[in-house]
Amino acid sequence: MGDERIFIVFLVIAVVVLLARALATRLGVPAAILLVILGVAAGFVPGLPKVVVSPELVLLGFLPPLVYHAAFFTAPREARADAIPIFTLAFGLTAVTTAAVAATAFALLPGSGWAAAIAFGAAVAPTDAVAATSVMQRLGAPPRLVTILEGESLINDGVALTIFGLAVESLSEPFTLAHGAVRLAQVVVGGVAFGLLVGVVIRKFRRHIQDPISQVIGLLVTPYVAYIPAENLGFSGVLATVTAGFYLGTRGEGMLQPASRIAGQMFWRVLIFLLESMLFVLLGLEIRQVLEQPGNHTWAEVALTALAVSAVVIAVRLLWELFNGPLASLLPGGERIQRGLGWRPRLVIGLSGLRGAISLAIVLSLPTSVGEDRGMLILLTALVVLVTLVGQAPLLPYVLRRLGLVESDRLRLEEMGARKAILQAALARLDDLADDDEVDERTADAFRQMLELRLERIQGRLREEKGEGEAEPEESTVASRGRVRTALVNAQRAKLDALYRKGKIGADTRRRISGELDFEDPVVTRQVKG
């Protein structure tokens, strides 16, 4: 494909993404559905070149940043508290789903062989928690459900991709049980160890980079620094990337300057949105050829197989989640951890197994050595993704309300309580500055009035009364005001971190308020403008 045709393809992708986003907002449907549909429609635009996505492009261009982003922005404290439910889902359910889907695909498509069937099973096994957790957070569902789903989605990507890599290797090399066990240990242990090494080295290196733009560039290259060498060494590049992202993310507050956090979070939001959108559109463009003639299979076989695989994916997850409670309780500390996870929360978790961009990235990376069934497996994965998005996502709000799991006031009260605490910490710090003669009385009074007005407004909202408006502080010297504002913001940050460490607030509340404090810091404002 020439340079001009590549440009045309990217232009079509950009138009489809913009159109799908606009229609999704207007129609109230998941954007992923419209991206695939419009991608298929765009495939029939006259003059558009045939699109065949290179497996190497997907593996190298899409997977590292997608899995790194999920790992970097995880909530470590909450995930650690629910480690048992997360690990039983991420390891046990992923392996069982892969085996069940592989058996179904092999029975209905025997010509594909066991290796291709297992690779296909690994592609549809991992979940994409974004759609489900966004619904839960909007409705105020228990944060524990959101944490479990996000933790599962983070880890099962690595598990599924490890199984996928071994299955793809067996397409070209003889496979034995002993060889598989050795390779599994090699890719897992080596990937985790290498990722940890990369995380430690990059963390030390970034301490010497103060420029926000350079730090954001460092964020971009980090997934590839972890992924590419690990793959070349025979380890799991995905596990290395996840480990590096998790290590750096849990230490991000002390590693990145506030201005870098603002720019970095905006950069990652845009990048991940574009990558996920491009995957859906590229899928739509590529399956145009499959839609014209699905290999050696009839449309009846396509429909039967798609329905069977979708039913297996949904049923296995529901059965696993409803019946694995007694099994998980047998693990050390399992009985204590399982408290609060009755049949109602487990039913919601069971219905939250939506598939998304990771499944598409995995199946699009199937090598051409799979043969004619490669297109068929790509089409089946797309149908499974659409079935879970269309069939399960709209059910979640109804199920949450019917089961009484909506806590609409909880997040609001948690956030207001955190704001009250950090304002009180700022007032205490202001009094210390005034007592030590580090700020003149006029400047102290100006900031005290501003903080007290904010505190009064928060307390009024907590009492369910209408708060007062915020008054502007009196004029003072710019330098003095800047130093005091920075000191007060730092005091609020310290209090916010203490609230999180003590378990008083969740990661979402901490991240949201921390972002607001970044914008209040004069140092951040100067760095962003610079």
The burial class, CB within 10 Å (0-12 / 13-18 / 19+), for 174 is exposed
Same domain, 356 and 215: yes
Same domain, 227 and 376: yes
If you search the block for the tokens 């065949």, which residue do you land on? 52
| Structural domain ending residue among the three candidates 347, 382, 402 | 402
Q: Residue 289 has what pLDDT?
A: 61
Nearest to residue 328, comparing CAs of 309, 349, 314?
Answer: 349
322 DSSP 8-state letter: H
Q: Which long-range contacts (CB under 8 A, 24 or more apart) does 211-218 make?
A: 212/257, 212/259, 212/260, 212/263, 212/527, 212/528, 213/263, 215/256, 215/257, 215/260, 215/263, 215/264, 216/260, 216/263, 216/264, 216/267
Which tokens sit at 178? Answer: 């002993």
Which tokens sit at 368? Answer: 């051409």
Q: At what angle do helices 410-435 and 441-462 cross, to 10 degrees?
A: 160
Q: Residue 255 has what pLDDT?
A: 45
> CATH number, domain at 373?
1.20.1530.20
Same domain, 143 and 179: yes
Are residues 188 and 160 in contact, defined by beta-carbon separation less than 8 angstroms?
no
d(CA 498, CA 494): 6
Q: Is the dihedral of CA 276, 282, 287, 288 positive or negative?
A: positive
For all residues of the chain together, what is the average pLDDT? 76
d(CA 127, CA 142): 19
CB atoms near residue 414 (< 10 Å): 17
Same domain, 139 and 199: yes
Range of the domain at 490: 410-529
Are residues 279 and 357 in contact, defined by beta-carbon separation less than 8 angstroms?
yes
Contacts of 377 (CB under 8 A, 6+ apart): 105, 112, 116, 119, 120, 123, 363, 366, 370
Same domain, 44 and 140: no
Same domain, 64 and 36: no
Same domain, 240 and 326: yes
Same domain, 31 and 140: no
Same domain, 351 and 431: no
Same domain, 176 and 248: yes
Q: Write the DSSP assignment of 50-118 as a string of letters.
A: P----HHHIIIIIHHHHHHHHHHT--HHHHHHTHHHHHIIIIIIHHHHHHHHHHHHHHH-GGGHHHHHH
d(CA 166, CA 182): 11
Domains of the chain: total: 3
d(CA 137, CA 341): 18
pTM: 0.68
Same domain, 13 and 95: no
Q: At what angle do helices 343-350 and 299-323 cross, to 10 degrees?
A: 160
| Structural domain ending residue among the three candidates 355, 373, 402 | 402
Q: Residue 470 has what pLDDT?
A: 41
Same domain, 363 and 422: no
φ, ψ for residue 149, nearest 5 deg:
-65, -40
| Structural domain ending residue among the three candidates 402, 429, 455 | 402
pLDDT in tens, 234-280: 888 888 998 888 888 776 543 456 656 666 777 878 888 888 788 77
353 DSSP 8-state letter: -
d(CA 474, CA 87): 55
pLDDT in tens, 56-66: 777 788 888 88
Q: Residue 374 has what pLDDT?
A: 81
Ranges of the chain with pLDDT below 50 = 1, 253-255, 465-478, 527-530
Q: Return the SS3 of 506.
A: coil
